[in-house]
Chains A and B, each alone.
Chain A
Amino acid sequence: MRRWFPVVLGVAFVLLALYPLQATGYGIRVMLQLFMWIALAQSWNLISGLTGYVSFGHVAFFGMGAYTAGILIARADWPWLVACLAGGVAAMLFALLIGFPCLRLKGPYFAISMLGLNEVLRVVVSYWESLTGGGNGLSLPTLHASVPIYYAMGATAALVTALTFVIVTSRFGLRLMTIREDEVAAEAMGIDTFRYKLYAFLLSAVGPGIVGGLTARDQGYIEPISVFPLVTTITMIVMALFGGKGTIWGPVLGAVLLFTFQEIVWARYIYLHQLLFGAIIVAVVLLMPRGILGVLQQKYRLPRTI
């Protein structure tokens, strides 16, 4: 497996890089969304999969990035790529601001505080009409740049995955996983748990920030209810969980499988959409909480770094 895996990866990369040459607009759009979900699920995995701190409001960073980039593009006329990167920085600053207090909370309290902060952000954005356009949303100037956005989104997904690889195979990653297994023990072994949790939290905010900015640019219109929904958080969690949280390729696998399923099945049964999604969540939680890769890791002696 170790020998052919890099080859498969390389071929996949080349194919994805060449794809826009002959793709339809619809195809590009679908792949864009897939990249978006990979980056989101992978980012959630960085904080929650590795440290066990369940971020139940991770979409806040996505929304933060979307609005930062949207405002910079629409009001200050920044180039979209720079604006999207600024979205990532803004998300990271927001994570720094809320990380100090929130990461001291444990278990369900951290989850609720993230949920609450996401709602605070949504209400602030809805209310601050002079800057954000409020509930009416924010329209961006038209721009036909699907293909460059496709590459930017793909690069973000790849970079977040590469970042996960680097972290999981490093001492930093080991420290994070020690925190997940037993925080008190980690502390007793001399790990400055708060500092490492904060680092992981900051890194997990950048990806969603950039992706949020790119999504805002691609769609050309954002509004509070479309960039801060709880269901986006849940979807990225379920993707990471389905593939295998705490692994490198799990969130990618989960995003690909669930997204494909969504495109094929949900599109046909639009009225059953939520019921099916609910059933998938329940099934994943009850039947395979360790995810596909988690189960495979347990059954076969796979390396930790998959």
Chain B
Amino acid sequence: MIVTPTMLGQVVISGLLAGSLYAMVALGLGLIFGVMRVLNVAHGPLLMLGAYTTFWLFHWWGLNPYVSIVVSMPVLFIVGMVLQRVFVRRVVDAPELSSLLLTFGIGIALVNLAQLAFTSDLRSVEFLTGSFLVGPFAFSKARVIACGFAIAITTGAFLFLQKTRLGKALRAVSQSREVAQVCGIDVQKIHMIAFGMASALAAAGGSLVAVMVAIQPEMGQVYTFKSFLVIVLGGAGSYPGALLGGLLLGLVEQLSSLYLTTQVNEAVAYVLLVLVLLIRPTGILKGRAA
């Protein structure tokens, strides 16, 4: 197959569009890992809940899916805080096995609850179809707008982390919990906020993909895996690394489906993950040492 520059350009831009979304979702996972050293396997199911929030608001009241982000994010923020307060808090200091299993258990319970409450039918939000045509390129409208929202929300999260006192406290806890505690930071509160924020970011991701893909209770798992990839690629615990990792994953996926086939692009991503772990376990931007 001959790859023309136009095709390559199209693929690169599609990769970046998808990657911005991955980056936003993975930033949440990275936040939890950075602050608590917990890998949240329930991240995908939380995204799924965000997608269902958007679906039902659209279904019942015809609410614009992009407007529904202002509902799904706060709702999942609270869900995340509750999960942290009730369950995850107890395993923060335990070996990683406990938190991996615990969040896996929460994840499948959430999926099962969604199956019971919403059934396993495939749902879709038919809102925005068609593409923007720019010169020789065509971009799905939903993806372009999702990318815009992802950039805005991610920027917001970064500004929060960089500029506000609470954001600084959060970064302080992720650098050293003990020192942060000595400085008078309420670590438990910060953990709850971090988990809430992470869930809200997942929810935003869910609301944005709700317009593009079929919504069903098990839709989230693939995002859990992708977010793992992203934070390892970028450097676990490094927040700019999550951005870089997200864009990189988007690009790799698109390029490998161009040059190879779509079936293997998942494997390519995992091979990349394993290679990064082996060659540079701290990720591309230096995260925490492995």
Task: Give A residues with C-beta under 8 Å from B.
Answer: 48, 52, 54, 56, 101-102, 104-109, 111-113, 115-117, 119-120, 123-124, 126-127, 231, 234, 237-238, 241, 271-275, 277-282, 284-286, 289
Instruction: Fill in one digit per residue for B61-102: 1 if any A CB lies within 8 Å of its CB, else 0.
Output: 000000000000000000000000001001100111110111
Instruction: Fill in one digit per residue for B21-56: 1 if any A CB lies within 8 Å of its CB, else 0.
Output: 000000000000100010100000000000000000
**Known contacts A275-B108, A289-B98; can you find 15 more A-B pairs with CB under 8 A?**
A105-B290, A107-B96, A115-B225, A116-B273, A119-B266, A231-B108, A241-B101, A271-B116, A277-B105, A279-B109, A281-B104, A282-B102, A285-B98, A285-B105, A286-B91
Instruction: Write out the residue numbers on chain A whose beta carbons fall within 8 Å of the beta carbon of B87.
Output: 282, 286
Known: A108-B96, A278-B106. A115 touches B228 (CB 8 A): yes
Instruction: Write out the residue numbers on chain A whose beta carbons fall within 8 Å of the beta carbon of B281.
Output: 105, 109
Q: Is B159 an interface residue (CB 8 A)?
A: no
Task: Report yes or no: A279 in contact with B274, Cβ–Cβ below 8 A.
Answer: no
Within the complex, the shortest CB–CB distance from B211 to chain A, in Å, comes to 27
Task: Report yes or no: B270 in contact with A117, Cβ–Cβ below 8 A.
Answer: yes
Task: Report yes or no: B102 in contact with A285, Cβ–Cβ below 8 A.
Answer: yes
Give the CA-CA distance A33 to B113 in the complex, in Å: 28
From the candidates A105, A112, A127, A274, name the one contacting B108 in the complex (CB within 8 A): A274
Q: Is B19 an interface residue (CB 8 A)?
A: no
**At the interface, is chain B mostly helix, strand, loop or mixed?**
helix
Can you list the 4 inter-chain pairs with the closest CB atoms, starting with the nearest? A281-B105, A278-B109, A123-B267, A274-B112
Instruction: Write out the residue numbers on chain B whose beta carbons fall within 8 Å of the beta carbon of A286.
Output: 87, 90-91, 102
Within the complex, the shortest CB–CB distance from B102 to chain A, in Å, comes to 5
Task: Report yes or no: B101 in contact with A238, Cβ–Cβ below 8 A.
Answer: yes
Give the CA-CA distance A115 to B96 in the complex, in Å: 14
Give the CA-CA distance A101 to B271 in the complex, in Å: 13
Q: Is B232 an interface residue (CB 8 A)?
A: yes
Give the CA-CA distance A120 to B229 in the complex, in Å: 13
Known: A127-B264, A279-B105, A282-B102. A120 touches B274 (CB 8 A): yes
Give the CA-CA distance A112 to B233 in the complex, in Å: 12
Enumerate 11 A-B pairs (CB-CB under 8 Å) in ascending A order: A54-B100, A106-B290, A112-B232, A113-B278, A119-B225, A120-B271, A237-B97, A272-B116, A281-B108, A282-B102, A285-B98
Give the CA-CA distance A271 to B217 in the complex, in Å: 13
Give B107-155 interface residues, CB cut-off 8 Å to A. 107-113, 115-116
Within the complex, the shortest CB–CB distance from B58 to chain A, in Å, comes to 27
Task: Report yes or no: A278 in contact with B107, Cβ–Cβ below 8 A.
Answer: yes
Task: Report yes or no: A117 in contact with B274, Cβ–Cβ below 8 A.
Answer: yes
Give the CA-CA distance A105 to B228 in the complex, in Å: 16
Give B231-285 interface residues, CB cut-off 8 Å to A. 232, 236, 263-264, 266-267, 270-271, 273-274, 277-278, 281
Which B residue sits closest to A237, measured CB to CB?
B101
From the candidates B37, B97, B106, B273, name the one contacting A54 in the complex (CB within 8 A): B97
Within the complex, the shortest CB–CB distance from B241 to chain A, in Å, comes to 14
Task: Report yes or no: B277 in contact with A119, Cβ–Cβ below 8 A.
Answer: no
Instruction: Write out the residue numbers on chain B whose beta carbons fall within 8 Å of the beta carbon of A289.
Output: 94, 98
Within the complex, the shortest CB–CB distance from A204 to chain B, in Å, comes to 15
Instruction: Write out the residue numbers on chain A whose beta carbons fall within 8 Å of the beta carbon of B90.
Output: 286
Known: A105-B281, A282-B102, A282-B105. A272 touches B270 (CB 8 A): no
Within the complex, the shortest CB–CB distance from A256 to chain B, in Å, comes to 20
Give the CA-CA distance A237 to B102 in the complex, in Å: 12
Task: Report yes or no: A274 in contact with B225, Cβ–Cβ below 8 A.
Answer: no
Which A residue sits closest to B98, measured CB to CB?
A285
